[in-house]
Amino acid sequence: MFTILKKQELAPSVKLFVVQAPLIARKCQPGQFVILRIDEDGERIPLTIADFDRAAGTITLIFQEVGHTTRQLGRLSAGDALLDLAGPLGKATHIEKFGTVVCVGGGIGVAPVYPIARAYKEAGNKVISIIGARNADLLILEQEMATISDVLYITTDDGSKGRKGLVIDPLKEMLAAGEKIDLVMAIGPVIMMKSVAEVTRPYGVHTIVSLNPIMVDGTGMCGGCRVSVGNKNKFACVDGPEFNAHEVDFDGLMARQKMYHSYERREHRCGGDCSCHR
Amino acid sequence: MPALRQPMPEQPAAERVRNFGEVALGYTEEQALRESSRCLQCKAAPCRTGCPVEVDIPAFIALIRQGQYGAAADKIKEKNSLPAICGRVCPQETQCESHCVLGKKGAPVAIGRLERFAADTQRQAGVSTPPALSRNGRRVAIVGSGPAGLTCAGDLALAGYAVTVFEALHQPGGVLVYGIPEFRLPKAIVQAEIDYIRRLGVRIETNVVIGKTLSVDDLFAEGYQAVFIGSGAGAPQFMNIPGENLNGVYSANEFLTRVNLMKAYRFPEHPTPVYIGKKAAVIGGGNVAMDAARTALRLGAETVWLVYRRSEAEMPARREEIEHAKEEGVIFKLLTNPIKINGTAQGWVDGLECLQMELGEPDASGRRSPVPVAGSNFMLSADTVIMAIGNTPNPLIPQTTPGLIVTRKGTIVVDEHGQTSRPNVYAGGDIVTGAATVISAMGAGKRAAKAIRAALGQ
């Protein structure tokens, strides 16, 4: 059992847990994830490790309530425990001094971007971050990102905080202005990561995305998370989750993410009218 | 007049295809007694030479004959800690039973069915008591809780070692829990057998991915004196044909893991979903393909094709599984090789393009290779495709264990005792042989346990 030590609401439907998991805390690196199962009847879901404290033996998980399992998770409180937590899984982010790195986080994607951006900063990079959300209420980790970024841009779809627009807007401007960017790291909804890849492609700026396909075991034994990268099939759970954005088949990934939509609706009995699968 | 081999009572095909209950129902006491009376109690007992874990077969059958069913199970457990599993999934026809003297002129003694009877009867009576064990204070780590790891752990525990098994998934059992379906091997029985291993003093740590959570070197640093790697061959192969990433295409591993481990057949009470269309094509001819095809039927597919590139004679699946699949209505498309999966605009499978094959001349290994018949392309209107064309070893442990020598296929190199290129690191089962059988993995676990005892001493 893995005890939840702390619970915090970051935004409506976005929650943070600090979980006791000493073995995972000892080994995990930015870019890695865990698979969790709440209870005996639960499904296995992947969540990125958003932070860790090796001395305290804890990891931080941030999740958005989008369906049956994440809503059930959201109802847990400090003192409750998760039945299963396996990790750290996936390859760690390759961290070195590249020069100027732009870190882009969309929605809940800011959570996985944060430890990576911090590691880039600690490695001596100039870190320019762009974080965005649909509206001000949904924006998370603004303070944390500000602390570890040399420059921070904030965008919201409705203009309720920062610039009105998309996370790619500041990126487009920087590239158009000829700013020297050595690496772009983008994590968020697939459509956002695809747009970032299209923005950087003509400039030949190396761009990395962290993919979020459907997973079951997370250890390379089922291939449920396979994605086409450079026209070769890769298993995101062991070969990734980070890949060269200019080689990823984003349309294929988006189609595969919809595989269970009709089941997920049945499962949390919203009949498809809720906003959780927009 | 000699008694005839007692048939196994089974659920009728028309009924069982609508449920996940066990197909083979097991002997009644009367049937077991009648079958046990057929054993000639040979002094030489050639049947024993066919058992990879050296069960004293005549002795346990004699105990059944005397009505001492619990004692019969205990006799088996001296050599094999998982008799209810072996009695169900071993290919006895090529192992113990193939050596039975009665088999020369008629049907061999149904050793597997009797083993199952003894184990089931003991479990139902709930009287199994593990032997009293003295501890020698030596610690061994086992990587993987499939048949190889559990057997190695059970044997070492019986010899007095402090054993910890590390399992990546949330439930121990390996292929016994995620791969082999409920209707062939009920999971409650697997859990009962694993509980017996626990009662021998074995600790099982789930959710520990060796190579990620801990490395093999970490295990030595934590004080384990030997490590046995039984991590299996669980990485699925795909055909690398166009359309394999369409929705509705599964590896058999994913399909079976969703259904067996995650209980997707009970969705939505269990929240893991599994998609099954009306017409499913399962590619392959081994036991995994049979399991996937029969599972697809039980989930409600109206048509299930078994697509295999050779003929039925070359199928690696057990005869019994092939017969069961046919009785249940699986349609065999033999000498058929898929070349492309077609999809809809929304990215869902809507057809499987195949070529008709014919068997060519025998190759160097004596096997006749299938060769395509030119221009024989045809379509199966499948909406679900399940790839069951084999598994390869997961590279995680070799990649993170310096000095561990592996073959080009990714299997770990060992000597005849299961010793790897690293001192005090042993390996066995599918990680050494590539995908094979439950019982061969158990035999490997047993050999390694013997070698570990020789190396570390009692």
Q: How far is A176 from chain B (nearest CA, A)?
A: 35
How many contacts does A have with B, using Cβ atoms within 8 A?
115
Confidence at residue A115, expressed as pLDDT on a 0 to 100 scale: 95
Q: How far apart are CA B389 and CA B284, in angstroms?
A: 5
Question: Measured in Å, how far apart are chain B's first and last C-alpha atoms?
Answer: 51
A49, A86 Cβ separation under 8 angstroms: no
Quickly state the pLDDT bin for A276 (edges 50, 70, 90): very low
B408 lies in a domain? yes
Cβ separation B238–A88 shorter than 8 A = no
Number of domains in chain B: 3
Q: How far apart are CA A43 and CA B385, in angstroms?
A: 23
Which residues of chain B fall below pLDDT 50?
Answer: 1
Cβ separation B207–A86 shorter than 8 A = yes
Cβ separation A222–B251 shorter than 8 A = yes
Q: Give the residue from A216, A210, A213 showing the smallest Cα distance to A37.
A: A216
B398 with B383, same domain: the answer is no
B264 with B362, same domain: the answer is yes
Q: How far is A88 from chain B (nearest CA, A)?
A: 6
Cβ separation A43–B262 shorter than 8 A = yes
B133 lies in a domain? no
Report chain B residues touching chain A, CB-CB < 8 A.
168-170, 206-209, 212-214, 234-236, 238, 240, 244-248, 250-251, 253-254, 257-258, 262-263, 267-273, 275, 346-347, 394-396
B448 lies in a domain? yes
Cβ separation A23–B213 shorter than 8 A = yes
A17 annotated among ligand-binding-site residues: no
Q: What is the secondary structure of A185-222 as a DSSP string?
A: EEES-HHHHHHHHHHHGGGT--EEEE-----SSSSSSS
Q: How far apart are CA B286 and CA A104, in angstroms?
A: 47
Chain-centroid distance of CA A78 in Å reads 23
Chain-centroid distance of CA B354 in Å reads 29
Q: How far is B166 from chain A (nearest CA, A)?
A: 12
Confidence at residue A264, expressed as pLDDT on a 0 to 100 scale: 74
B134 lies in a domain? no
pLDDT in tens, B242-298: 999 999 999 999 999 999 999 999 898 889 999 999 999 999 999 999 999 999 999
The partner residue sitting opposite A89, judged by closest CB among B209, B258, B271, is B209
- Inform me whether the pLDDT recorded for A278 exceeds 50: no
10 Å CB burial of residue A135 (0-12, 13-18, 19+) is: middle
The partner residue sitting opposite A23, judged by closest CB among B214, B235, B254, is B214
Confidence at residue B127, expressed as pLDDT on a 0 to 100 scale: 65
B1 lies in a domain? no
B339 with B214, same domain: the answer is no
Q: How far is A43 from chain B (nearest CA, A)?
A: 5
Confidence at residue B338, expressed as pLDDT on a 0 to 100 scale: 97
B27 with B87, same domain: the answer is yes
A222 annotated among ligand-binding-site residues: yes
Phi, psi dihedral angles at B187 (to 5 degrees): -65, -25
Whether this model's pTM surpasses 0.90: yes
Residue type present at position B203: R
Confidence at residue A262, expressed as pLDDT on a 0 to 100 scale: 81
Q: Give the residue from B126, B98, B92 showing the smallest Cα distance to B112.
A: B92
Contact list in A for residue B396 (CB cut-off 8 A) is 219-220, 238
Both tokens of B125, joined, read 């009576």
What is the CATH classification number for the domain harbouring B352? 3.50.50.60
Instruction: Compute the average pLDDT of residues A10-30.
Output: 95
Query: What domains, with CATH codes, occur in chain A?
Result: 2-89 (2.40.30.10), 96-208 (3.40.50.80)
Cβ separation B240–A233 shorter than 8 A = yes
B244 with B381, same domain: the answer is yes
Range of the domain at B205: 139-234+393-456
Q: How far apart are CA B149 and CA B228, in angstroms?
A: 7
pLDDT in tens, A146-162: 999 999 999 999 999 99
B304 lies in a domain? yes
pLDDT in tens, A162-193: 999 999 999 999 999 999 999 999 999 999 99
Quickly state the pLDDT bin for A112 (edges 50, 70, 90): very high
Confidence at residue B128, expressed as pLDDT on a 0 to 100 scale: 64
- The domain boundary, picked from B352, B387, B422, lies at B387
Confidence at residue B417, expressed as pLDDT on a 0 to 100 scale: 93
pLDDT in tens, A51-67: 999 999 999 999 999 88
- Inform me whether the pLDDT recorded for A272 exceeds 80: no
Q: How far is B167 from chain A (nearest CA, A)?
A: 10
B269 with B324, same domain: the answer is yes
User: What average pLDDT does the structure give for chain B?
Assistant: 93
Could you tell me which chain A residue has the CA closest to the CA of B171? Answer: A84
Contact list in B for residue A224 (CB cut-off 8 A) is 250-251, 254
Q: What is the secondary structure of A74-96 as a DSSP string?
A: HT--TT-EESEEEEEESPPP---
Confidence at residue B442, expressed as pLDDT on a 0 to 100 scale: 92
3-state class (DSSP) for residue B106: coil
Cβ separation A263–B257 shorter than 8 A = no
B260 with B211, same domain: the answer is no
A237 annotated among ligand-binding-site residues: yes
